[in-house]
Copies of this chain bind each other. A is one copy, B any other.
Amino acid sequence: MTEQLESGSVIGILGGGQLGRMLSVAASRLGFKTCIFDPSGDPPAAHVANYHLKAEYADLDALQKFADSVDVVTYEFENIPTTALDALEALRPIRPGRNALAVSQDRLTEKQFLTDLGLLTAPFAPIATIDDLHAALATIGVPSILKTRRFGYDGKGQARIQSNDQIENAFNDMRGAPSILEGFVEFEREISVIGARGIDGEIACFDPGENVHVDGILRTTMVPSGISASMRNDAVLLTAKILNALDYVGVLGVELFVTSEGLIVNEIAPRVHNSGHWTQNGCITDQFEQHIRAIAGWPLANGTRHADCVMENLIGDDISKVIDLSKDASVALHLYGKAETKPGRKMGHFNRISPKS
């Protein structure tokens, strides 16, 4: 039997960005309180949380205090320092578990995990030296992308190699960090599946969304996507395979390329995912509540979609569109309360809803 966290329990969230913010709101709908662990002074999640513990991830006393004040620990980003996880793991359940983090924190481990499962990925090779890079390029060819194995997101820690004269600059861009060379995938579309797995192994997936990235940052997600019903099934089954292999608990995002060879896994994210924000207005239970249900041992929602939806991120100065958007009856706004607007910073998003086609 699964133990169910009682309404009124406290969910600890590592990271206080917009994902933590929306997780906190979802937790409140089920009667949970939240405690946000975040080193910054005014993180978006703290605006809607019961408690914000402001401390560094290396602060063992603070981690102890955090663990003492919560019933379960989850996180809104995957690059949590190992020391913090070591300290917390001894004290409270961490969901999703360490295994999922270990896989997704390292692009090389992730690619090897996926290929071991029999799933397709872009061709890849580990890169430690400039010689490794030359050797890998001889096989993988150009264009290809050199990425740090760890701590990259939204296009950061990446260098595209289109021709031989870019090799040295790309290698230097990695600043000596262990890296991975990934071949370029010719894709028709990018899609993603937001899947969830409960403590008892129950699985539910939302309808795959079709994504458009600009400059390495997600711009829009559209549901329904333009893929066939059979490919939709493939995407969901592949997600279930990953969830089971990781003995996963919570919501997971799987980014996929649709190619002539079939579905190629781009990356997995062991958390709620930007491309699942449409569920806030397209489903009765959104990805945030689904994650909270999973980590609290509650029954999962089945992911039914009741509307068509286009999610669009508000990045940097896009935030100035808000007043016009607020006049549009088909638009649901979700702003993150970030004090400072910067180029490339995700300031909010909106979901444009239309009747289910």
Contacts and interface: CB of A to CB of B under 8 A. Distances in A.
Given A299-B327, A322-B7, A353-B284, A30 B307 contact: no
B355 A306 contact: yes
Mostly, the A contact residues are mixed
Query: Within the oligomer, what is the number of copies of this chain?
Result: 2
Contacts of A322: 7, 31
A143 to B, nearest CB: 39
A29 B284 contact: no
A29 B307 CA distance: 20
A185 interface: no
A47 B50 contact: yes
A66 interface: no
Contact of A337 (B28, B46, B293, B326): B28
Contact of A335 (B7, B46, B331): B7
A357 to B, nearest CB: 13
A28 B28 contact: no
A281 B284 contact: yes
23 contacts: A7-B322, A7-B335, A7-B337, A8-B337, A21-B28, A25-B25, A25-B28, A28-B47, A29-B332, A29-B335, A30-B326, A30-B333, A30-B335, A31-B322, A31-B335, A31-B336, A31-B337, A31-B338, A34-B47, A47-B49, A284-B332, A306-B307, A306-B353
Interface of A: 4, 7-8, 21, 24-25, 28-34, 46-50, 281, 284-285, 293, 298-299, 301-302, 304, 306-307, 319, 322-323, 326-327, 329-339, 348, 353, 355
Please give me the 7 A-B residue pairs with the lowest Cβ-Cβ distance, nearest first: A31-B335, A47-B50, A48-B48, A299-B327, A31-B337, A28-B48, A302-B329
Given A30-B326, A31-B348, A47-B50, 9 more contacts: A7-B322, A25-B25, A25-B28, A25-B48, A28-B335, A31-B322, A284-B353, A298-B323, A302-B329
